[in-house]
Amino acid sequence: MLFLIIKRILLGFITLFIVSLITFVGTEILPGDACTTYLERQAFGEQLEACYRRLGLNVPAYERYVSWAVNAIQGDFGYSLSGEMPIKEVLGPRIKNSLVLASAAIFIGIPIALILGIVTALWRDKLPDVAISTVTIFAMTIPEFISATLLILIIAIWLEWLPGVVIVPTDVSFLKLLPNIILPVIAIAMIMTAHMARMVRSSVIQVMASEYVQMAILKGVPYWKMVFKHVLPNALLPAINVVALTIAWLLGGVVVTEVVFNYPGLGRLVIESISNRDLPTVQALAIILASIYVSINLLADLMTLMLNPRLKTLQIRK
């Protein structure tokens, strides 16, 4: 058990190491570098040399990688190019804002997804299932930027209920942020909820068809007691892993949604830093987003381990 947990954590770190290598090599082969972008037309001779020295670009690539990695582990990602301020300070408020957005979406989305998934599974192929399943198919296939644009058009422009664009400074207090995030949260929660509801549905259906549930029915266990005692605990376990993967996948959707609503989070920073060729920030973002992905998955694995006694003795799937 302990060995398994340690192994998972180690594998997570190896993944992060490979990600850092990939992004470092990726940004390294981008045409131009930090100095030529920053100095633009004056990128030659003395000034270029000085800039290389200042940013430490005059040493071989592998040495730069090592020093970057050592600093990154300590939370120091160097200096961003455009703002000339430490990336740590740029990232701080952005991470907070994105976390607010994502956690609001998760806290609203997961309970709704559970309820919808269970309802559709228990009334399989009946009216509630058909109706909800049709809606979830629409909600999960339509891209975030379309649902977000439609939300703005209908709720912000036609009905004028809520602000359509977030116009707040990056380091705004939570209470002032709140009315602004309702629409973005709906946009993100919608697609996430739809995905999870479908997974919960099929998971519950699988368990309902299993032998021990048939046995419980034959024994005459009351229907709802059976659902809550036998079906749900077993059905929700496998769903945890899939939900984790979905949340991680939706990081991309968060980026798009933040751009649509002009929300000052990590996602908009991704677009801004890539447009500006701000490579140090891109590297930092890649590592941070990948760590979020890896830790969500790790957490899901650990939760499955804790909750499922059968897995304690088995090696969990690779």
Partner 1 sequence: MKVDNIYKEEKKSVFKKVSEVIITMASRPSGFIGLSILVFHIILAFISPYIAPYDFKAVNPTLMLQAPSAEYWFGTDDLGRDVFTRTILGGRTALTITFFGSLIALLWGGLLGIFCGLVGGKIDDIVMRIVDAFLSIPWILAMLLIVSLLGTSTEVLIPALGFFYGKGIVRVARAATHDVIAKDFIVSARARGHSNLSIIWNEIIPNVRDAIFVEGAMRWSWMLLGFSSLSFLGFGVSPPTPDWGLMISNARGLMSFAYWAVIAPIVGLSSLIIGINLTADAFAKALGIDRSTKAPV
Return the range that interacts with partner 1 (CB under 8 A); candidates 39-47, 74-82, 290-298, 307-315.
290-298
Taking the least distance from each CB to partner 1, the nearer of 297 and 304 is 297
Binds partner 1 (CB under 8 A): choice among 252, 299, 306, 312: 252
Residue 285 near residue 269, CB atoms below 8 Å: yes
Q: Is 282 in the site for partner 1 (CB under 8 A)?
A: yes
- Residue 181 CB, shortest distance to partner 1, in Å, is 19
Cα–Cα distance for residue pair 318/315, rounded to 1 Å: 8
Nearest approach, Cβ of residue 243 and partner 1 (Å): 8
Using the minimum distance from each CB to partner 1, give the nearer residue, 14 or 178. 14
Cα atoms found within 13 Å of the Cα of residue 310, Cβ hemisphere only: 4
Applying CB under 8 A, the span of 24-32, 102-110, 174-182, 208-216 interacting with partner 1 comes to 24-32
Q: Which two tokens stand for residue 303?
A: 């939760």
Q: Which of 1, 14, 131, 306 binds partner 1 (CB under 8 A)?
A: 14
Q: Determine the longest span between alpha carbons in the chain, in angstroms.
A: 87
Please name the residue ranges forming H helices in the chain. Answer: 2-28, 34-39, 45-55, 61-73, 87-122, 127-141, 144-151, 174-208, 211-219, 223-226, 232-249, 251-260, 266-275, 279-307
Collapsing DSSP states into helix, strand and coil, what is residue 318? coil
Of 36, 82, 170, 206, the one binding partner 1 (CB under 8 A) is: 206
Q: Which of 151, 201, 240, 278: binder of partner 1 (CB under 8 A)? A: 201
Q: Cα–Cα distance between 155 and 276 in angstroms, integer?
A: 33
Residue 99: CB atoms within 10 A of its CB come to 13
Where does this chain bind partner 1 (CB under 8 A)? 14-16, 18-19, 22-23, 26-27, 29-31, 137-138, 141-146, 149-150, 152-153, 157, 195, 198-199, 201-203, 206, 238, 241-243, 245-246, 248-249, 251-252, 255-256, 259-260, 270-271, 274, 277, 282, 285-286, 289-290, 293-294, 297, 318
